[in-house]
Chain A
Amino acid sequence: MDKLRDYLKCYDPRFLAWTIVGVAVLFVATFAAFAFERGAPGRYACAAVQAGSLGALIVSGVMRTRHLDELQRRIQLESIALAFAIGSAVVAGWGFFEHAGAPRVDWGLWVWPFFAITWVGALLATRRRYR
Chain B
Amino acid sequence: MRNRLRDLRAERGWSQGDLAERLSVSRQTVNAIETEKYDPSLPLAFKIARQFSMPIESIFQDGEGRRR
Cβ–Cβ contact A70 & B44, under 8 A? yes
Complex-state Cα separation, A131 to B33, whole angstroms: 10
Interfacial residues of chain A within 41-61, with CB under 8 A of chain B in the complex:
none
Interfacial residues of chain B within 21-68, with CB under 8 A of chain A in the complex:
24-29, 31-32, 37-38, 40-41, 44
Cβ–Cβ contact B40 & A131, under 8 A? no
Main secondary structure of the interface of A (DSSP, over half): helix
Closest residue of chain A to B37 (Cβ to Cβ) is A130
Q: Which residues of B contact A (CB under 8 A)?
A: 17, 20, 24-29, 31-32, 37-38, 40-41, 44
Complex-state Cα separation, A78 to B24, whole angstroms: 22
Cβ–Cβ contact A9 & B31, under 8 A? no
Cβ–Cβ contact A6 & B26, under 8 A? yes
Cβ–Cβ contact B25 & A130, under 8 A? no
Output the least CB separation between A60 and chain B (Å).
19
Determine the chain A residues whose CB is within 8 A of the CB of B28 once the complex forms: 6, 10, 71-72, 127, 130-131
Known contacts: A6-B17, A6-B20, A70-B41. The answer to whether A130 contacts B26 by CB under 8 A is no
